[in-house]
């Protein structure tokens, strides 16, 4: 495959954009090589600037659950654009999408729209702190909740409770209010709570982790967190930016039958436009300005084009609920095929899957938390990534990302992918 034009575009971009990209993972730093420049996309395929056709397993990191350039979404945006692109005034469509979203998601009465998943999670934590009158939060190592200061925290040396900034620019002061726990380890969470009695506002987590590869919650983990929160007056925040409107119409809350206190959204809810949202029961949401004391705002929040794309997407998912079975079945088929291909070439691997989220880890140990995800072979992942790319398959350029299956993928596409995996497996250790 030739990447001449992508290479040239990347050289130009680096002159005026830091690292050539507007979000770091796009730069291919962890796999090496030159990022591919997308030119257009349709259904399951991306066409790059060199004219290569790629089967897409990233799907814009999740939003394109029905494939690229899905007609009802595109038409809704084009239509809306003709009436003006932003007003800074309320519009009817904001209520339309809010009603639909609240009807699809269990256990929430009200929702507020923002412009990204980062904003949604940042605002949800502020709301939790304001509502409970407490400062500290618990997050899990390896879970990603966007790039706001409170979340850019890594495990401190030795101590189980204190985190350290993992980016310059995040202050020690901020870090001391974020406690880091181990995913799928209830004991560790209970100890963290005990060591900070009466100080914890919320526990935030990805109910199915997708930012250290795909890591499903262990049996009883979510139930256990719910109970710890109830027993200690702590709010439970499900970050459903990835899982919302993907694992089920009502996301992980519906799939696992567990109620969170605040839920955050992004990705699918915007249909490919910049949208995030957070939702909760009335008592909590009414703590927000203008009726409550917790401030939160946005010039372009609820933007009509973004709402049109999101509404068209949610309508499709709400009206055709078989989509969720369809993508789950496709992902299970892919799982089986990839596992057979890697096993037949004796490649050590673990495949994690839940619904339409799946990831391959080049390790034979079960991958259940950040440490076990980090222990897998990155050398094999790099070879696998470039091998697959060369066969025309576009997976995430990092071993810590999930593949997102779209309903536009056909069984021929999946067979093509499994065949490519069989070829590439021969080059792996």
Ligand X SMILES: *Cc1c(COP(=O)(O)O)cnc(C)c1O
Regarding 206 and contact with ligand X (CB under 6 A), the answer is yes
Coil, helix or strand for 354? strand
CB of 19 to ligand X, least distance (A): 17
Where helices occur in 171-220 by DSSP H, the ranges are 172-175, 186-194
DSSP state at residue 269: G
Instruction: Determine the Cα–Cα distance for residues 28 and 100; give it in Å rounded to an integer.
Output: 37
Cβ-Cβ contacts under 8 Å for 83 (sequence gap 6 or more): 304
Question: With respect to ligand X, which residue has the nearer C-beta, 210 or 224?
Answer: 210
Q: Which residue has the tokens 């001391």?
A: 176
Confirm whether 134 is a catalytic residue: no
What tokens does 37 get? 């420049």
Question: Is the peptide bond preceding residue 290 cis, with omega within 30 degrees of 0?
Answer: yes
Binding map of ligand X across residues 263-302, x = CB under 6 A, - = no contact: ---x---------x--------------------------
CB of 205 to ligand X, least distance (A): 9
Q: How far is the CB of 273 from ligand X (least distance, A)?
A: 11
Of the residues 80, 134, 139, 267, which is catalytic?
Answer: 267
- Contact pattern from residue 239 through residue 268 relative to ligand X, giving x for each residue in contact according to CB under 6 A and a dash for the rest: x-xx-----------------------x--
| Catalytic hit among 45, 144, 183, 287 | 144
- 144 given a catalytic annotation: yes
Q: How far apart are CA 166 and CA 175, in angstroms?
A: 9
Least Å from the CB of residue 211 to ligand X: 6
How far, in Å, CA of 327 to CA of 358, rounded?
A: 11
CA 172 – CA 135 distance, rounded (Å): 14
Q: Taking the complex as a whole, how short is the minimal distance between the CB of residue 117 and ligand X, in angstroms?
A: 2
C-beta of 116 vs 350, nearer to ligand X? 116
Longest C-alpha distance within the chain, in Å?
A: 62
48 noted as active-site residue: no
Binding mask 116-155 for ligand X (x = CB under 6 A): xxx--x----------------------xxx---------
Rounded Cα–Cα distance for residues 126 and 119 (Å): 11
Token pair belonging to 397: 């350029």
Q: Catalytic residue, from 177, 239, 261, 407: name it.
A: 239
* Residue 401 interacting with ligand X (CB under 6 A): no
- Residues of this chain that bind ligand X (CB under 6 A): 116-118, 121, 144-146, 206, 210-211, 239, 241-242, 266, 276
Residue positions annotated with a catalytic role: 144, 239, 267
């Amino acid at each position: 495959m030739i990447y001449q034009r992508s290479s040239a575009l990347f050289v130009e971009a680096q002159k005026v954009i830091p690292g050539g990209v507007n979000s770091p993972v796009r730069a291919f730093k962890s796999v090496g090589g030159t990022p591919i420049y997308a030119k257009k996309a349709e259904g399951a395929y991306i066409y790059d600037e060199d004219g290569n056709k790629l089967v897409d397993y990233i799907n814009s990191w999740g939003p394109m659950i029905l494939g690229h350039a899905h007609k009802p979404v595109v038409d809704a945006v084009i239509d809306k654009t003709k009436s003006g692109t932003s007003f800074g005034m309320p519009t009817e469509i904001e209520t339309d999408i809010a009603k639909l979203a609240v009807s699809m998601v269990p256990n929430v009465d009200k929702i507020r729209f923002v412009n990204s998943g980062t904003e949604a999670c940042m605002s949800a934590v502020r709301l939790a702190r304001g509502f409970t009158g407490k400062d500290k939060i618990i997050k899990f190592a390896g879970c990603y909740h966007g790039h706001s200061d409170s979340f850019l925290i890594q495990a401190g040396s030795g101590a189980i409770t204190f985190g350290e900034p993992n980016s310059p620019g995040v202050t020690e002061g901020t870090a001391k209010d974020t406690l880091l726990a181990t995913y799928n380890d209830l004991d560790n969470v209970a100890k963290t709570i005990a060591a900070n009695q009466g100080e914890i506002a919320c526990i935030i987590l990805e109910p199915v982790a997708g930012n250290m590869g795909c890591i499903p919650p262990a049996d009883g983990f979510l139930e256990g967190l719910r109970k710890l929160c109830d027993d200690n007056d702590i709010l439970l925040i499900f970050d459903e930016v990835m899982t919302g409107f993907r694992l089920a119409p009502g996301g992980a809350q519906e799939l696992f039958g567990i109620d969170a206190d605040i839920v955050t959204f992004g990705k699918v809810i915007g249909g490919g436009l910049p949208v995030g949202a957070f939702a909760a029961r009335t008592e909590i949401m009414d703590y927000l300005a203008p009726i409550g004391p917790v401030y939160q705002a946005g010039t372009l929040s609820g933007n009509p084009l973004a709402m049109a794309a999101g509404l068209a997407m949610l309508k499709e998912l709400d009206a055709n609920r078989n989509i969720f079975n369809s993508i789950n079945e496709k992902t299970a088929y892919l799982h089986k095929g990839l596992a057979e291909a890697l096993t037949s070439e004796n490649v050590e691997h673990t495949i994690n899957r839940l619904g339409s989220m799946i990831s391959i880890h080049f390790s034979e140990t079960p991958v259940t938390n950040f440490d076990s995800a980090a222990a897998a072979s990155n050398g094999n992942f790099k070879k696998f990534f470039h091998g697959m790319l060369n066969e025309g398959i576009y997976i995430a350029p990092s071993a810590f990302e999930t593949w997102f299956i779209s309903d536009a993928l056909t069984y021929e596409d999946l067979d093509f992918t499994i065949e490519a995996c069989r070829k590439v497996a021969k080059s792996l250790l």
